[in-house]
Structure 1
Amino acid sequence: MKSFHNSVCVAALAAAIGLLAGPAHAQSAAPAAADKPDTGEIIVTAQKRAENVQNVPLAVSVLGATQLQAAGVRNFQDLGAVSPSLTIRPAEHPVNANVSLRGVGTFAFGIGVEPSVAVLVDEVPMAFQARAFTDLPDVERIEVLRGPQSTLYGKAASAGLINIITRGPSETLKVRANVVGTTDQEYGANFSVSGPISPTVGFVVSGAYSKWDGNVRNLYNGQKLNGREAGNIRAKVRWEPSSDAKLTLSLNYMNGNTNIGRPIINQAAGATFRNTPGQTADVVLPGVQIGPLNQNVSINYTSRTKYQGGGGNLRGEFALGDHQLVTITSYDKFRLDDYFDSDETSSSLASQNNIQVGAFKSTMFTQEVRLLSDGSKPFHYTLGAYYANVDFERPFYRGPAIALANWYATSKSSQIAGFAQADWQFMPKATLTAGGRVQNEKVSYTFQDIQNGNAQFSGSASDTAATYRISARYEFTPRINAFVTYSTGYKGQTYDLTTGFNQGRANAGPIKPETSRDIEFGLRSQLFDRKVTLNLTYFDTTYKNLQAQTIETIGDVQNFRLTNVGKLGTHGVEIDAGYRPNSDFNFNTSMAILDAKYLNYAVAQCFAGQTAAQGCVAGSPSSQNLTGTRAVQAPQFKISATAEYTPQIGNGLRGLAQVNVQHQSSVYYASRDPQTFQKAYEIVNLNLGVRAEDRRWEVAIFVNNLFDQQYYPSLINNNGLWGGAMTTQAVLPRDFRRYGGLRASLNF
């Protein structure tokens, strides 16, 4: 009861601050402030053209460096801390992590399965979401577009998208550098250098390296787990041969590794591993003290990944009279090798030791061309065409003792699309927007089941689909406007290329496309000379033929099979508010109130250990009816609020004080499963430091998770490995324990 009272109090305080606080997009991003004056406007490319975010009839959040620093966000997987509608659930490796917006994401582990939330870097899509799970170097801003974005961005954005915008070349020489060190042995550094090479050529080069050993101890060998190491480098060269033409070549490379240990935080007394006599927890997990604060494992094979990838894109921008032609050509190649101790013990019995080894390989080529008319005219439009070709490969082995698997799969997709969107200001204060997209996609696969007689399967399919969006916007004053938008979403058909693929799955053909419809009402306002910002969005979205994982059990190992599971509805309110009375003081907050439920999901897999009293209906297989149940990974309430105070403390110096409060209500990671229930929690982060008046340098100390609150971003029911006895494992967050650190930056 005390915990609940504290949660409510913190949430109420954050909400009260939020009514005065500014969303990430209510202020200019900090890096830009050093280069040009703060006009009070944030320019985004959410509709594939540069626009003031306050005038875009979409639900868009823009995250700048100040918000990321205050919330302790240094990696992609931490973004959910500052964007309440966004939830990122970690897993044993990045490919299996899940990104969801408004309670909707793709819980799928197979190759070739499109995500529901697209991830782009500089408007270029990524084949794998896992490609983004690394540091965020040289970021100018991050745009989070909530709700279906299929009309302009295609089939991988049926629930929204995240667009990471990196800095471009500057007109004068600029050098930026940041370093960070923490009390729990995390070290990182990044830099960027930009400037002109000649009057017509500019460049920017940036790089980053970070290393953290982790917060889980493997008692088998003393190694720390749950850590990561990453390095990446990015370069851009921009050539402007004339005032009517601009070419930008961007290149990037990344290399890194992760490891994982999933501590058991709760287990039934007397449980034996795989129901084997004598194989109790104290035998197969020697030294591990099971409990909610457990940070120890004992595994005799290191669960880990190593990855590398690189690519580039060539962007051309050409003035054609009062039109602009934009072309973007991209190529990307990525590989992630994964190694997993699937028994997650250090049992000495050969019959109990099992591993999984595999790789994810992707190659992607895209070409986009779009023509933009003059955006200052009452009627303006965007016309475009898009082509993408993606190849995936996945070799996989599991054994040698339990649930044997050995297979090799490939997946290919090729899509071509045309899209258009027009804005018509038919009255001085009223604008209509309409857009549509038509796309054709061909998908194919091969599956070689080496384990079972080298069986060979292959197949292909094609599909043509259309999506559209219509909105109306009315400007009551130059700083207050409202809009209503209706849009549809689409995620293409695919094949379930995972363990257990057989002739039956091959005969069934591809999983059906997932479709959605969304309606939004929004209010955008800036008041009192732009000192106060208040943005409200109400949304109601329905997804049909929802693509999701269900569980297929082979032996005592659970496999995940993709299928169309039914219908899901999500509706709620998002509030972004802001108050910036002067250059010394700034508040910002974002809040999401969400109701995401399965509207039709009559036959779902029972969770391990589920009883008839809990809704499991006996059968072959047993099932439960989830219709009316809250969707997984969908908290009903989430808020992030940041306060920043930078008083002048001397000649040319300013102090720095930042407080960030994050609150999330309870959530299930598997429907109705009490073992995967995370209760409400709140996290407070504190930053104190000093900076130069012109922001050329800054030094700050910080404490993340100030009150040392424990929570779990992912919980796993692993009863099957323990003979059906209740066993719950957790993936620990970066801030499972309070930690402090020092960060410093240069900007000149």
Structure 2
Amino acid sequence: MNRYHVRRRSAVNAACVALLMGGATAGWHAAAQTAEAPEPKRAELQTVVVTSQKRAELLKDVPQAVSAYGADDLKALGVTKATDLQQLSPSLNFTAGPDTRSEGFQMRGVGTSAFADTVEQSVGFMVDGVSLARSGQGSGGLIDVERVEVMRGPQGMLFGKNASAGLISVITKRPRFDQFSAEGTVSYSGAHNEVKTEVVANAGVSDSAAFRLAVATTRADGYVQNVYRNETLNDRDEKLVRAKALFQLGDNLDLYVIGDWGKSSALCCTWTARSAPPGTTFATLNAANGIVPGPRNDKIAANAPFYSDNENSGLSAELNYNLGWATLTSVTAARGWKTVNNNDPDILPINILDINLGASDLRQKSQELRLTSPDGGRVEWVGGVYWSEQTNDSMQEQTGNFGGLFTPFGVPAGANVGVIQDTTTRNRSAAAFGQAGVRVGASKFSAGLRYTDETVTLDYASRPSTTIPRPGYAYGKTRGETGANNLSWRLTAQHDLTRDDMAYVTAARGYKGPGLEFLDNGNGPVAVIKPEIPTTLEAGLRSLLFGGTTLFSAAVFKTRFEDFQAQVFDQTVTPARFRTTNAGRLDTQGVELEANSRITKQLTLSGAMAYIDAHYEDFQNIPCYAGQPVLPFGTPRTSPGQCIRTSPTGAAVTDGSGNRLVNSPRFTAFLMGRYDWVVGGYKAFAQADYAWRGDVTYSAAGDPSLVQGGYGLFGAAVGLGAPNGRWQVTLFGRNLGDKRYADRLMPQPTLGAPGVVSQFVGPNAYRTIGVTATVRFGT
């Protein structure tokens, strides 16, 4: 490959140095590090390899915003589940929910956390080349990981389906032919008596066959006290197993088979009262049970149970055949995901919806065939076809006496009424894709296209859950169907400014398929959620500084989403609920800076920061928030935030245009320093890290009571290990300042009133001190 060799440092490098010295450092880019790599004779970075363009490439040569986190780095920072990645990657956020079906990731401020089974997330999630239908399938533990790649901006052109805002790709460790080994890790932390174990064994039985088995468990006490039922909620009990086999079937043919299974069962996932103005029913009932709402409140008094059971399984086979002129790859996969959960939405000892139960049985199948040209040629290309099918059978039951709401309509006092909803959704997607790049001197130009054809159907039936029908509810059946075809694309130009500096610019059009939203009235209509279409323009720089000891990356971007699939909280229906709709348009723009520097052989410094302005550009006719002043029908709208009735007695709506996106901090940053040395013949290290997240809103309508203030989290660790790496013991502390923060704020689902707010507080919002021990055997 013709490279542009210039030894003199450029003005671009000088600008990078100025940014670094000025404190705008950024990025934890420690990626595919291997334990077998020899110790460098001088301070230099480990090689970072990513596959964000469907081929293995050095990170410094990749013309897009991508971060990579290696296994050792994740362990050093205590990242054991995907949701923890938001502390490392400033452009990544995670929104919690009452169950795994409704939680989701956001990238650059954009993401969809929706209860609708036909609406997929904007941030895709992939494990070993297989796209997961719902992000909740991948939000559990990370086991036997080689690296995690976080790709920002539209990624659906080359990867699976959708991924309109970005992609999280988890790559686990492959079996090795030359290795018989075993590794065991056990960790204990005191905040919730959490015990984690992981055992990994590799057996290279011949030059052509190797097997690998990984088993992990997590058990942790809950941290929310249900004072009425005398039980502790939000505990964890998880088991994960992943088995792999790698076969070299010939000089040019290999087969990689992966099977995995995981199960979690917990009294989970409850929220707590954050605020309740005096005089509200919610405040009175909480006070009667000795509960004081507030950011540090960890008590509820629910009379109905909370529980969440999940089972996740999958089987995939990857076949690679080297044809000489290209490599043919086939990835065949089937996955299943079963969930069942219940919660008590009033979180008090009254019967409004004592049964608020959801169950889901998701099955997905996918097939990808692609051809990839050899590396290093003047022209590099990849192309293929992709097919997937998802079927989800779900059931939801809402039964209670609604606090006597229906007594005036003939329902006996204390009697229960309710609805059971049975839904089957199907999603079929077929696509053809390709990307080609040509190198011209010091420049490379790439173009890619993807054509997608997608169909979504929904079959719905509702029936009474008790002998007394719910007044005003039209039980029945209905069906909906929609489809779309789309052409997404990417154009990229990159230029080697020097041997160590590369700049790029890329423009891309992404796609996320349509969905269906049932309008919550038995035989009523089904709303079509239109496809989500982002268009992005990004420019970036990657530079190796100070003799190859520092990798610096910068990106500036602007993305416009048309028909963004947004979730809003609708209090105009009974019971109030979240629903999905299309926001007309939203914009997100900002700058991301990252750096990873090996100052000396002993000292490593890393950092990342992002400043992102993400807001709704056009989001009309959404429900007003509780307590918002309501103007009468016909009032001329003089500002977007006004709440105006749609008819003399109709619902009141507002205009969210100009409001910030939900759970999108403007400024985030991560800093880490680590020092390694040898003491008494043993390897020792000490490290410290700090993560800052700015304030966020959890209301598309602009509810001022749903704002989480900014916060910083400080962590540290010290460790000692054998010189040959056979064992290591680490003492760690996380959130040492015991900063209590919420992963989500929401209007209280029942007993809502102006200023009544509930919160999801995760386990990381507590000071945690613990110890981890690892032992290794074999060759």
* Length-normalised TM-score, structure 1: 0.92
The offset of 1:338, in angstroms, is: 1.1
Q: Of residues 226, 250, 263 in structure 1, which corresponds to 2:272?
A: 263
Percent of aligned positions with the same letter in both sequences? 28
Q: 1:22 to 1:206 in 2, by over 3 A?
A: farther
Match of 1:468 in 2: 489
The offset of 1:434, in angstroms, is: 0.4
Match of 2:607 in 1: 589
Q: Of residues 402, 424, 427 in structure 2, which corresponds to 1:413?
A: 427
Say if 2:187 is the partner of 1:180. Answer: yes
Supply the AA of the counterpart residue of 1:438: Y
Q: Distance in 1 between matches of 2:519 and 2:339?
A: 17
Q: Distance in 2 between matches of 1:224 and 1:179?
A: 24
Q: Deviations over 1:122-142 (max 9, x none)?
A: 110111211112111111110
Q: Distance in 2 between matches of 1:521 and 1:353?
A: 51
Supply the AA of the counterpart residue of 1:616: C
Q: Of residues 433, 452, 457 in structure 2, which corresponds to 1:444?
A: 457
Q: Distance in 2 between matches of 1:478 and 1:446?
A: 58
Q: Of residues 444, 466, 478 in structure 1, which corresponds to 2:499?
A: 478
Q: 1:353 to 1:446 in 2, by over 3 A?
A: closer
Q: Distance in 2 between matches of 1:691 and 1:18?
A: 36
Q: 1:595 to 1:307 in 2, by over 3 A?
A: same
Match of 1:103 in 2: 109
Answer yes or no: is the 8 Å Cα contact 1:214–1:227 preserved in 2. yes
Supply the AA of the counterpart residue of 1:437: R
The offset of 1:723, in angstroms, is: 5.7
Match of 2:596 in 1: 578
Q: Of residues 648, 657, 665 in structure 1, which corresponds to 2:694?
A: 665
* More moved, 448-457 vs 670-679: 448-457
Q: Deviations over 1:459-496 (max 9, x none)?
A: 32332111000000001122210000000011111111
Match of 2:512 in 1: 491
Answer yes or no: is the 8 Å Cα contact 2:95–2:113 preserved in 1. no
Match of 1:9 in 2: none
Q: Distance in 2 between matches of 1:134 and 1:40?
A: 28
The offset of 1:498, in angstroms, is: 6.5
Match of 1:616 in 2: 643
Q: Deviations over 1:424-461 (max 9, x none)?
A: 002x2100010000111122120112245651112323
| 1:589-668 mapped onto 2 (5 Å cutoff) | 589-612=607-630, 615-619=642-646, 620-651=650-681, 653-668=682-697
Supply the AA of the counterpart residue of 2:769: G
Answer yes or no: is the 8 Å Cα contact 1:579–1:587 preserved in 2. yes
Match of 2:442 in 1: 429
Answer yes or no: is the 8 Å Cα contact 1:22–1:580 preserved in 2. no
Q: Distance in 2 between matches of 1:28 and 1:418?
A: 30
Q: Deviations over 1:326-362 (max 9, x none)?
A: 1100000110001111221123xx5x45321121111
Supply the AA of the counterpart residue of 1:523: L
Answer yes or no: is the 8 Å Cα contact 2:391–2:427 preserved in 1. yes
Q: Secondary structure at the match of 2:497?
A: strand
Supply the AA of the counterpart residue of 1:511: I
Q: Deviations over 1:590-622 (max 9, x none)?
A: 111100011111322211222259732244211
Answer yes or no: is the 8 Å Cα contact 1:481–1:523 preserved in 2. yes
Q: Distance in 1 between matches of 2:120 and 2:75?
A: 31
Q: Of residues 307, 319, 339 in structure 2, which corresponds to 1:336?
A: 339
* More moved, 64-73 vs 202-211: 64-73
The offset of 1:522, in angstroms, is: 0.5
Q: Deviations over 1:24-48 (max 9, x none)?
A: 32x4545x23367777321111111
Q: 1:66 to 1:321 in 2, by over 3 A?
A: closer
Supply the AA of the counterpart residue of 1:561: R
Q: Deviations over 1:243-276 (max 9, x none)?
A: 2010011000001023123121221112214x9x
Q: Distance in 2 between matches of 1:84 and 1:545?
A: 25
Q: Secondary structure at the match of 2:287?
A: helix
Answer yes or no: is the 8 Å Cα contact 1:267–1:727 preserved in 2. yes
Match of 2:262 in 1: 254
Q: 1:177 to 1:36 in 2, by over 3 A?
A: farther
The offset of 1:721, in angstroms, is: 2.8
Figure out how many residues of one structure are paired with residues of the other and give that number.
717
Q: Distance in 1 between matches of 2:275 and 2:753?
A: 14
Q: Deviations over 1:697-721 (max 9, x none)?
A: 2111111111122211111222x63
The offset of 1:287, in angstroms, is: 2.5
Q: Of residues 105, 117, 129 in structure 1, which corresponds to 2:135?
A: 129
Match of 2:708 in 1: 678
Supply the AA of the counterpart residue of 2:347: E
Q: Distance in 1 between matches of 2:573 and 2:347?
A: 16
Q: Secondary structure at the match of 1:282?
A: helix
Say if 2:61 is the partner of 1:55. Answer: yes
Answer yes or no: is the 8 Å Cα contact 2:480–2:516 preserved in 1. no
The offset of 1:583, in angstroms, is: 2.8
| 1:206-217 mapped onto 2 (5 Å cutoff) | 206-217=214-225
Q: Of residues 683, 699, 715 in structure 1, which corresponds to 2:745?
A: 715
Say if 2:480 is the partner of 1:459. Answer: yes
Q: Secondary structure at the match of 2:279?
A: coil
Q: Deviations over 1:37-64 (max 9, x none)?
A: 7773211111111111111111101012
Match of 2:287 in 1: 282
Say if 2:719 is the partner of 1:689. Answer: yes
Supply the AA of the counterpart residue of 2:768: Y
Match of 1:80 in 2: 86
Q: Secondary structure at the match of 2:183?
A: strand
Answer yes or no: is the 8 Å Cα contact 1:473–1:482 preserved in 2. yes
Q: Distance in 1 between matches of 2:582 and 2:742?
A: 28
Answer yes or no: is the 8 Å Cα contact 2:31–2:68 preserved in 1. no
* More moved, 303-312 vs 607-616: 607-616
Q: Distance in 1 between matches of 2:572 and 2:225?
A: 30
Q: Secondary structure at the match of 1:69?
A: helix
Q: 1:358 to 1:18 in 2, by over 3 A?
A: farther
Match of 1:318 in 2: 321
Q: 1:297 to 1:282 in 2, by over 3 A?
A: same
Match of 1:729 in 2: 758
Supply the AA of the counterpart residue of 1:434: A
Q: Deviations over 1:642-696 (max 9, x none)?
A: 1111111121x12211111000111101132122101111000111121223333
Answer yes or no: is the 8 Å Cα contact 1:498–1:560 preserved in 2. no
The offset of 1:220, in angstroms, is: 1.6
Q: Distance in 2 between matches of 1:70 and 1:135?
A: 16
Answer yes or no: is the 8 Å Cα contact 2:187–2:196 preserved in 1. yes
Answer yes or no: is the 8 Å Cα contact 1:700–1:744 preserved in 2. yes
Q: Distance in 2 between matches of 1:560 and 1:22?
A: 36
**Structure 2 unmatched runs, 5+:** 1-18, 403-416, 465-472, 632-640
Match of 1:169 in 2: 175
Say if 2:337 is the partner of 1:308. Answer: no
Q: Of residues 532, 535, 540 in structure 2, which corresponds to 1:517?
A: 535
Say if 2:144 is the partner of 1:117. Answer: no
Say if 2:567 is the partner of 1:549. Answer: yes
Supply the AA of the counterpart residue of 1:404: G
Q: Of residues 242, 245, 253 in structure 2, which corresponds to 1:245?
A: 253
Match of 1:6 in 2: none
Cα RMSD after superposing both structures: 2.1
The offset of 1:500, in angstroms, is: 3.9
Q: Distance in 1 between matches of 2:21 and 2:686?
A: 16
Q: 1:176 to 1:551 in 2, by over 3 A?
A: same
Answer yes or no: is the 8 Å Cα contact 2:247–2:256 preserved in 1. yes
Q: Distance in 1 between matches of 2:573 and 2:533?
A: 35
| 1:146-157 mapped onto 2 (5 Å cutoff) | 146-157=152-163
**Structure 1 unmatched runs, 5+:** 1-14
